[in-house]
Amino acid sequence: MMEQFAEIDRLRVELLSKEPTDHVVGEETDSQEVLRQIEGVIQGLVTSLSKEEAPVIKVPNRSSWANVSFDNDVGLLMSAESICSTIRCDDPMSATRFAHFIKILEIIYKLVQSNSYATKRDIYYSDTKLFVSQRTVDRIVDDISCMLRVSRRNLHVAVPVSPNVVGIRNIVSSAKFVLIVEKDATFQRLLDDDFCSKMGPCIMITGKGVPDVNTRLMVRKLWDTLHVPSFALVDGDPYGIEIMCIYKYGSLAMSFEACSLTVPSVMWLGLLPSDLQRLRVPEKALIPLTQADKSKLSSLLKRPYISNHPAWQREMELMQEDKVKAEIQSLTAIAPDFLTRVYLPNKLRYGGWL
């Protein structure tokens, strides 16, 4: 614990010795605000030390539904007054996490101050013995972003794929719609079948499962710029539905950044549970719901946005009744090219979405 106190004091001295940050009313930059907030956090820790109290860091709980509200035009939003988790430096259960926070705050401060960028991977490799795993860094960077109420890009922490989506300018396209595809395998199959040319022009994008932040930023950028319909093609299972909901309304963990990540106009194109009955998908292609699937489905039905979508609710209740799920690839049990030759063209032409 004494080592952590020394680290706090060292960081305080470093911050005080830097060049003063100019704060001009009405002209304050995002970087200046981030620097000021980090300085405030460290000053709070130093104040605790001066009172001979153990420093603590309070972070909004990103896994509690009590901390979010639902806005139909935006999605899931972190509440202004959030329930916080307390990370204490004098508690053996959280002392290591406290040290992680201090170290990453220091790295972020230097990045912002020098107007340079690093990936989460770069941060992990800056001290692999301290962080132990990449997951530790990933979680704490998001916690800091939530704690400071700023987007991760304003922390100057990027991710390996398309790190500067916000900086993309002058997007020009004749696309009629954007197709968000859950799985990379399906995405590649559509490319192989030249789907964009046959049904296009259109834009396809995939997050290869649960999308990362920059994939969601890109979907939002396309919507803001092109103003064309966005459709989600996901597996007919609870986890596919949740992925579609993440694109549309955001995730609980990133609700503090919902305004820049969600596209509330996203429409659920398929695979719908009712499609399985309507198309008479062979039973051999259907998969029984697991207990985890049933729990996830029950959880989804309790989400605050479901009441706005009675058609979604009916689809999920149908899945509960039938007790089966299906992957997009199950359509090949009808015909090898059924997805691109029949299913998607008919859906897009005749309005088979929710």
Give catalytic residue positions. Answer: 125
Q: C-alpha angle 27/32/33, rounded to 5°?
A: 95
CA distance 209 to 306: 22
Measuring CA to CA, which residue among 187, 268, 191, 265 is closest to residue 228? 265
3-state secondary structure of 96: helix
The rounded distance, in Å, linking the Cα atoms of 100 and 77 is 27
- Copy the structure tokens of residue 241: 């539905």
The span from the CA of 287 to the CA of 323, in Å, is: 9
CA angle centred on 123, ends 119 and 126, rounded to 5°: 135
Residue 262, phi-psi category: left (phi > 0), alpha (psi -120 to 50), beta (remainder): beta
Cα separation values, 316 from 118, 222, 260, Å = 41, 29, 28
- Running DSSP on this structure, what letter comes out for residue 289? P
| Element of type H or E holding 7 | helix 2-16
CA proximity to 287, closest of 337, 235, 209: 235
Query: Would you give the DSSP letter of residue 236?
Result: B
Q: Closest by alpha carbon to 69, among 80, 78, 60?
A: 78
How many Å apart are CA 64 and CA 66, to the nearest integer?
5
Exposure class string for 44-65: b at 16+ Cβ within 10 A, else e: ebbebbeeeebbbbebbbbeee
